[in-house]
Amino acid sequence: MARQTTHQTEPNKPKNVKRDPVASGERDAAVNRSAGHNYFLEDRMETGIMLSGSEVKSVRSGRANLKDAYALIKDGELWLLNAHIGAYENAGYSGHAPLRTRKLLVHKEELRRLIGKTMQKGFTLIPTRMYFKNGKIKCEIALAKGKQHWDKRETERRRTDEKETRAAIARSRKA
C-alpha cells in the first residue's frame, strides 16, 4: 500500500526566509562604485580571498569597503591592499587589523595572463565587488586603465545623451 504524504511544499518558496541576503548571495557584500568612474574596466575575473574568521563575520554584517583598494602581483602571488574590513565587535582578543594585506586566490595560468596584461603601461588591478558564492567570499577584480578628467566628462556627456534619447522615445510612444 502506498504511503500517504501529509507534508505539502510550495515550489517557489525560498529555502530560508530569515537568512541575510548578503550571506545567501542575493546581494553583494561590498561594491567599489568609484571604480567605474575613475577607470576604464577592461577584463573582469573572479578570485577567492583568504580571510580570518572575524573578517568573514564582518563581511557578512556589511562592514567591507573597497573604495581605495587595489590588487598587486608580488613574488608570483596576487595581493589585495587597502581593502577595509571593519572590526567584528564579538571577536574578543583575536580580532584583525582592518587594513591588512590579504591574499587573493587565482590559478597559475590566470596569474600569468594578469602579469602580462599589467606590464602594459597604465594598467592596474582594481577590486570591483566582494560577494558570497556557495558560502565562500569571492572578490571580483578588473583590469583597469585610469581615466583622465576629459574622459570622465565624455562618459558623463554620453550618459546624459542616452538618457535624453530614452526620454524622447518614451514621449513619442505616449503620443
- Residue 112 one-letter amino acid: R
* pLDDT tens by residue, the chain, 175 residues: 555 655 555 556 555 556 666 666 667 888 888 888 788 888 899 999 998 888 888 888 888 888 889 898 999 899 999 988 888 877 777 777 778 898 999 999 999 888 888 888 888 899 999 988 888 889 999 998 887 777 778 888 888 999 999 999 999 988 7
Beta bridge partners of 102: 80
Query: pLDDT value at position 141?
Result: 92
Residue with cell 587565482: 106
158 exposure class (CB count in 10 Å sphere: 0-12, 13-18, 19+): exposed
Domain locations along the chain: 30-147
CB 44 within 8 A of CB 141: yes
Beta bridge partners of 2: none
Q: What is the SS3 string spanning the chain?
A: CCCCCCCCCCCCCCCCCCCCCCCCCCCCCEECHHHHHHEEEEEEEEEEECCCHHHHHHHHCCCEECCCCEEEEECCEEEEECCEECCCCCCCCCCCCCCCCEEEECCHHHHHHHHHHHCCCCEEEEEEEEEEECCEEEEEEEEEEECCHHHHHHHHHHHHHHHHHHHHHHHHHHC
d(CA 113, CA 165): 39
Query: pLDDT value at position 12?
Result: 62
CATH numeric code, 30-147: 2.40.280.10
Degrees, nearest 5: CA angle 56-61-63: 80
